[in-house]
Every structure is written in structure tokens, then in C-alpha cells.
Amino acid sequence: MSQPIRKIVIAGGGTAGWMTAAALSKLMGKDLEITLVESEAIGTVGVGEATIPTLVFFHRLLGIEEPEFLAATQGTYKLGINFENWRDVGKDYLHAFGITGKDCWACGFQHFWLRARELGLAGDFGEYCLERRAAEAEKFTHLPNNGLNYAFHFDASLYAKYLRQFSECHGARRVEGKIDQVLLHHDTGNIRALKLDSGQELDGDFFIDCTGMRALLIEKALHTGFESWSHWLPCDTAVAVQTEAVAPPIPYTRSIARESGWQWRIPLQHRVGNGQVYSSSYQDDDAARQQLMGNVEGEPLTDPRLIRFQTGRRRKQWHKNCLAVGLSSGFLEPLESTSIHLIQQNIVRFLRFFPHTGIGQVEVDEFNRQADFEMERIRDFIILHYKVTERDDTEFWRYCRQMDIPDTLANKIDMFRETGHVFREGNELFVDSWQQVMIGQGLMPERYHPLVGTMSESELAGFIEHIKAEVDGDLNRLQNHSDYLVSFLSRHAGSGA
């Protein structure tokens, strides 16, 4: 007989552990006893310093004040990602968080843009997206009614410390220690307790695995299995380093394609996060480290740190009385800054399916189905960047161009190429992003919707010009990003916000 859930034990801290503790303690702390165990001796991956706009809503759900969060984490604003050398060497585009142009009931804006471009009436696709224009102009301002979609760059270690304080204020308890053993119930196979190296046992009704790639609970104890996606995403190593900031922070992440992978550059208030993601089959560690250090700005603040990973997912993210959150559930390289989004989604999804009266298999199965769907669609979006490219200058890029891809992605590419359509399936994360990246990578539709052809040239020109004028008007309302950030934080400093 399944028992009610009253005691929850979170294994591991870092971003995943403390985001979980923050949400559970804030939203359900009155009904639960929440314990988080972590060890100061165990480091965290800590490269996930760029996010997507869903984190804004997670913070609103928890009542986290933005000025306080930004000040505590040395955060800056982010409007998108600039992809450099991805389509081909010397060809760049910016994937922004906003919606490009305006759709109609029958088709997306790209159809109107395609015909207008054919007639010489339209500029670059990105000219009709406010967030892209703002990023390129290095501008930012909060607009009414969420008029500007944004996310954040921040220091991941400072974020975990901030959320720890938040969680403890809402009743979560932290225990220092290393997990020595996961103890199981002999009859059910459920987790009974975590035994620490001190000999202390932490018993619970439900356990959340935030132990990173080690996956001590969901894999080493419960053996759920792992599905590798490395044949589609061949990068398996990263080297990361922090450097001094040499210029004011810009409101976008830089992703710079290299011969055997790519480099990230993430601007914070006080420093810059840098890293190189690469395939060890095509580049050795010393060469990658040397290439990264030859392409950073500012003096290094840390020694370069090597991180090994395998892309893929746990076959079950919720199994028995254990949920995997963060890297324990699987790994997708941080190309589109989705790591923290996947953490938050598993947390929110768990709250929606929370087993108050006991764990039911129907809820577990539906949770896993939704989690699998979301991760697969994000996987497809990341693979798109590698597959749809004009680069053939190295063995790595030739492999990416020629590799087989999932049917779900192949269908999306074929649909866009042949018809110009992008259809959102279910609750997919990315919508306008597909058009932005496919066009940015050089994939142009062969035709547009016939409805667009019913517009006269003057009507189409007026439609396009009106959108451009609206974007221009909103852009003029924005301030320089760095100046706005300083004034925004100073206005709220000491306010208790």
C-alpha cells in the first residue's frame, strides 16, 4: 500500500538541488519536511550561467524579486544567442527570444517575409523581431505587459547560495555530508534512506536525485538505464574558465563555432564565463584548452577545468519513490541554454503530479512521457544547429552534415524546406525559434503559403513596413543595457525588494 508523502530528501545541492528545495519549501513547505544533503567537498559543474525566459516565470511563481536576485548573483539580462560561424565561417545570426513579425490564422510571418523579400520589399528576417534588434543594439529596458522577452546570465554558484538562503527561510533543512550508501526497502525496492559517510541515516518518503552525472540514486541504486544520444550530438567534453570583464556586459550569449565544436562567452557584471565544447574524437584536450585560452578576453580568474559528459537521458526520470532533477536525469549540451529550464520543468511537473496520498503508477508514467517528449524536442532543436550547416571545412562538420537524424527532426526540416511551415506539437518549448535558426543556418523554404499571394504588393509593403515601424518605435524606448542594469539595481538597492 502506497503511503502519503510527508518527508522529502533532496540528494545534492548546486543549482538543481537548491531550485528544488526553493520551490518545494515555498509552495508546499507547510505540508512537508524537506531535507537537502550536500557536501562542501563535492564540486558542481557550474557552467550553466545562461538561461531562457521561462526562468522569469519560475521566479514569479516563487515570489523572487528580480533586483535582489540580480544583485546576489552578479546577473545581467539576456535577449538571445549570437551564433557565429555556425552556418559557415564568417556567417553569423542572432537567435532571439522574441516573436518575429506577426502571424495570421493560416500561416506564420515567414511566408509574408518570403514573398516580400522576393519582391525586394523586406530586409533581413531579424529586422522584424524587437528582441533581436535590441540585442544587436546592446539595449534593454523593462517594457509594460512583458513587451520584451528576456532571460538572464548569472553566476551559478552564487545562485545556489541565494536559493539556499531562500529555502532555509522557508523551512528547508540542510545536512552536510557525503552519501555513502543508498538503502532500499527489501520488499518494494523503493529507497528507504540515505546513509552518509558519518554513519547518519536520512530516511524519507520520497527522494530527489540532484547528484549530477553520478546519478547515485536514480541509476546506481535503482538502475533505470541510460539512452545515449552521442551519435547525434558527438561533443563529449567541455573545458571552462572564468575571465575578467574587459567591457560592459552585452545582453546576449555568444556561441562561436570552432573546428570541432563551439565556444561560449557569457557576460556577467563582474566577470565573463567562457568554455569550449568539443568532440574528443576530433580534438584532443590540450588542443581544445589551448584554443579556448587563445580566444578569451581578459585575464583568467580560474584554471581551465575539464568536464566529461555524454549526451542522452535517463530511461525513467521518475522511478519508484525517486525523481531525477538536473544532470542526473540526462544531459543536453548547453547550446541553447536549456539546462536550467529542464531542471525547473521537472520541479514544476512534479508539483503538478505531486503524490499527496501515495505514488500512483499512472501519474509516474504520464510524468515520464511528458519529460521524455520535452527532452526529445529540445534534443532535436540542438541537433538542427549541427545538421543544417554549410560548413564542410573539417571532418567534424562533414560528419554532422552527413549524420542520420531523428525522424521527428527530419520531418520538421522537410516540412519547412518544402512548405515554409513550422507546426508546434503539443507543449513544445520552441516556437518562433525554429524559423529563426533554420533561416539563420541557411535553410530557405521553396515556397510560401498561397494566401500571401492574394495580397497586392502595396498591401504587403504596408504590412511589412508597419511591423518594422512598430519594432523601430519600441527599440527607441530602450536604454543601453549596461546603463539600465546599473540604474535598475541602484534604484532598488536597500529597498528590501
Mark whether 159 and 193 lie in a shared domain: yes
Residue 31 belongs to a domain: yes
**Quick check: is 445 in a domain?**
yes
Task: Please count the other Cβ atoms lying within 10 Å of the Cβ belonging to residue 42.
Answer: 14
pLDDT at 477: 97
Structural domains of the chain, count: 2
pLDDT at residue 496, rounded to an integer: 47
7 is catalytic: no
Among 360, 389, 424, which residue terminates a domain?
A: 360
Whether 256 is covered by a domain: the verdict is no
Residues 204 and 163 in one domain: yes
The catalytically annotated residue of 26, 78, 139, 320 is 78
Instruction: Clarify whether residues 388 and 466 are in a common domain.
Output: yes
Does one domain contain both 24 and 106?
A: no
Same domain, 203 and 71: yes
Residue 265 lies in a domain: no
Same domain, 346 and 211: yes
User: In CATH, what number is assigned to the domain containing residue 211?
Assistant: 3.50.50.60
Q: Quick check: is 284 in a domain?
A: no
Do both 133 and 159 map to the same domain? no
Give mean pLDDT in consecutive 10-residue pieces for the chain, a chain of 497 residues: 87 97 96 95 68 97 98 97 98 97 94 97 97 98 95 95 97 97 96 97 98 97 98 97 96 98 96 96 98 97 94 98 97 94 97 94 97 97 98 98 98 97 89 96 97 95 98 98 97 65
Residue 43 lies in a domain: yes
- pLDDT value at position 1? 46
* Reported pTM: 0.96
Are residue 44 and residue 135 in the same domain, yes or no?
Answer: no
Beta bridge partners of 253: 81
pLDDT of residue 425: 86
Pair 338, 444 in one domain:
no
Within a domain: 207: yes
Residue numbers of the domain that contains 126: 100-139+377-474
Is position 390 within any domain? yes
